[in-house]
Amino acid sequence: MSSWRNIHTRPRVLRYTRWEYFPMWLANIPLVFIWLFYALRSGKAMFFTNVNPAIDTGGMFGESKMDILRQLPPELLPTTVFIPTNTPFQSIIEQINNAALSYPIIVKPDVGERGQGVQKIQNETALKTYFSKAKGDFIIQEFLDYPIEVAILYYRFPDEQRGHIPSFCIKEYLKVKGDGISSVKELMAKKARANLQIERLSQLKPNLLQQIPQKDEIVELEPIGNHSRGTMFLNGNAHINADLIQIFDTISHQLEGIYYGRFDIKCESITAMQAGRDFKIMELNGIAGEAAHIYDPSYPIWKKYRDVFKCWQAIFRISKMQRKQGFKAMPLSEGIRKFRIYQAKIKHLQ
């Protein structure tokens, strides 16, 4: 009977009963029709690639995270070190020391998606293990201890001074609350979101999953704010105001050739960020940067696709304006070639 009552937490059931866990091919079926609608209107399958001329493919796939970070105001970035392929390990240690980085640090592939290969590294031994498995260029970043992580989607039409924020997502890291009796693994099995992560974390943190937390003790299971790692995405659009838009307008006007993207940010508080202080930009994603608030479990499915459509409406309009300015969309054959290169790069991500 208990097994039957908990059927809603089973991974196979969740992936087909909750939209946020749908397989990508299923969730993206409406997106195919949206893309086709605008591709036919523009006459270009890759019309979106000219929206951000400064980012390869407009930021749909294959773009270098470091190339984008270099275009952002340095004072808004965490300390970051770029590590090319085949860099000797001792040289990496020297660069970390020269940048005055201390552990823990965040390490991530320069080209990647959905949190693949992103790790919080606690010491030099763990870094050496990561380094021994890395297959391409990667980035080392300062670990930010700000308590709040958000994702803000922003776009601006090239002929306008003021932009728009259609999505503000607040990220809630995966955690469990102890009862003084159950192990972490047993507590995870009782929560739908956590249950999806048992297999992965059993390999990465087997000792943690065997621990028995004290009653009401909060155990954080995953420090990386990615949905595929169990982070809950919450709709924070109520926090969008004129002050916040002005902050990102200022940032946008410092970026040459970038008009649409999602900023992944850590901040001391949302109020502080709205005032323009105590926040850092960890990443800026281009066209592929989703309106992450739509993953809120309570957000109606019709609103999810409505918001996606509105975003692509803006992308199409920017693309049309860019074409008039002489920025051509990438040919389909070139897009296919770049996508194959991208697939090869992410194939071996940890």
Mean per-residue pLDDT over the chain, rounded: 92
User: Per residue in 245-299, pLDDT tens?
Assistant: 999 999 999 999 999 999 999 999 999 999 999 999 999 999 999 999 999 999 9
Band (pLDDT 50/70/90 cuts) for residue 2 is: very low
Output the pLDDT for position 6: 53
In the predicted model, is pLDDT for residue 7 greater than 50?
Answer: no
In the predicted model, is pLDDT for residue 1 greater than 50?
Answer: no
Residue type, 23: P
Which residues are bridge partners to 109 per DSSP? 138
In the chain, list all ranges with CATH 3.30.1490.20. 79-143
In the predicted model, is pLDDT for residue 10 greater than 90?
Answer: no
Average pLDDT over residues 44-57: 97
Band (pLDDT 50/70/90 cuts) for residue 344 is: confident
In the predicted model, is pLDDT for residue 74 greater than 50?
Answer: yes
Average pLDDT over residues 198-222: 94
More confident residue, 346 or 202: 202
CA-CA-CA-CA torsion for 335, 22, 310, 158, nearest 10 degrees?
A: -40
Band (pLDDT 50/70/90 cuts) for residue 25 is: confident
End-to-end distance of the chain based on CA atoms, in angstroms?
Answer: 38
In the predicted model, is pLDDT for residue 3 greater than 60?
Answer: no
User: Per residue in 87-115, pLDDT tens?
Assistant: 999 999 999 999 999 999 999 999 987 77
* CATH number for region 79-143: 3.30.1490.20
Average pLDDT over residues 133-160: 95
Least confident of 88-92, 128-132, 301-305: 128-132
What does the alpha-carbon distance between residue 164 and residue 305 come to, in Å, rounded to a whole number?
18
Output the pLDDT for position 126: 94
Output the pLDDT for position 132: 87
